[in-house]
Amino acid sequence: MRPKGLFVTGTDTGVGKTMVAAGIARYLRERAGRVGVLKPVTSGAVERGGTLVSEDAELLRWAAQCEAPLSDIAPYILREPIAPSEAARRDGVMVRFERIRESFDRMASFHDFLLVEGAGGLLVPLGPDLLVADLAKRLGMPLLIVARPDLGTVNHTLMTCECARARGIKVLGIVINGFPEIPGSAESYAPRLIEDLSGEAVLAVFPRYPDVDGKAVVERLAARMEKEPLATVLKGELE
């Protein structure tokens, strides 16, 4: 049986996967027992005290209050902020599914719910014969797709849904993140059009919170969760 959890992917890099996954982790922390987080592959690490660290993994870990070792939360931390397979090559590393699976299995054995953040979008290469989509499929986790709200998002989101379906990956739904306070013309129809054309549910439309730091965004997303259909879907996944 697969562990409970979900795989958070995006239509692109920088769309808010970490914020949304961390918001969900923060929300579930008081409702789901032990929440585990994984950022299997980070490219674009920061160097601190001579060690490479994954800021995504650190934020996810903080949000979930996950006490697992960082070597399992973030097994591959690569230096350059470029396609992970290329960042790995330049670091002299090879990203292997089996290594990620080992961390995933250890995490699954002592958490009640796992949140996995991909890297970029579904067809981003992680290593030889390993795209983000392959990772989601092989881990057997359903997808939550994070999308931008602005012009171009209909195309990117529909392509992401088609890609998932073509590969037999279950899509739980879509989250539109960073919706502006005053929507422009394109934002005003995007959620409706995406839902109509994709056949997938838009489970949340999260606002853009300007002028606040990452942790404050996470707190706000978590506090807002109960208002969104995503909360009901998460509760369903927990049963």
Residue 38 binding ligand ATP, by CB under 6 A: no
Instruction: Name which of 63 and 107 has its Cβ closer to ligand ATP.
Output: 63
Instruction: Name which of 17 and 224 has its Cβ closer to Mg ion.
Output: 17
Applying CB under 6 A, what is the total number of residues that bind ligand ATP?
17
Candidate residues 18, 54, 103, 198; the one interacting with ligand ATP per rule CB under 6 A? 18
The amino acid at residue 53 is V
Instruction: Name which of 165 and 220 has its Cβ closer to Mg ion.
Output: 220
Residue position matching structure tokens 């292997």 = 96
Of 39, 137, 170, 215, the catalytic one is 39
The residue range among 16-24, 60-68, 162-170, 187-195 that interacts with ligand ATP, by the rule CB under 6 A, is 16-24
Instruction: Name which of 140 and 214 has its Cβ closer to ligand ATP.
Output: 214
Binding to Mg ion in span 43-72, by CB under 5 A: 56
Candidate residues 9, 11, 18, 198; the one interacting with Mg ion per rule CB under 5 A? 18
Residue 16's binding partner, choosing from ligand ATP, Mg ion, none, with beta-carbon cut-off 5 to 8 A by kind? Answer: ligand ATP
* Among candidate residues 54, 51, 127, the one with its CA nearest the CA of residue 88: 127
Other C-beta atoms lying within 10 Å of the C-beta of residue 71: 10
d(CA 95, CA 77): 10
* Among candidate residues 203, 123, 190, the one with its CA nearest the CA of residue 162: 123
Residue 81 main-chain phi, psi, to 5 deg: -85, 65
Q: Cα 227 to the chain's mean position, in Å?
A: 20
Residue 176's binding partner, choosing from ligand ATP, Mg ion, none, with beta-carbon cut-off 5 to 8 A by kind? Answer: none
d(CA 176, CA 99): 32
d(CA 127, CA 65): 30
Q: Are 100 and 63 in contact (CB under 8 A)?
A: no
Candidate residues 17, 111, 148, 156; the one interacting with Mg ion per rule CB under 5 A? 17
Find the angle CA(85)-CA(91)-CA(93) to the nearest 5 degrees: 65
Is 39 labeled as catalytic in the residue annotation? Answer: yes
d(CA 156, CA 147): 8
Candidate residues 6, 9, 11, 15; the one interacting with ligand ATP per rule CB under 6 A? 15
Residue 149 binding ligand ATP, by CB under 6 A: no
Residue 120's binding partner, choosing from ligand ATP, Mg ion, none, with beta-carbon cut-off 5 to 8 A by kind? Answer: ligand ATP
* Among candidate residues 173, 123, 169, 117, the one with its CA nearest the CA of residue 147: 173
**Positions that interact with ligand ATP (CB under 6 A):** 10, 13-19, 56, 120, 177-178, 206, 208-209, 214, 217
**Positions that interact with Mg ion (CB under 5 A):** 17-18, 56
Catalytic residues: 39
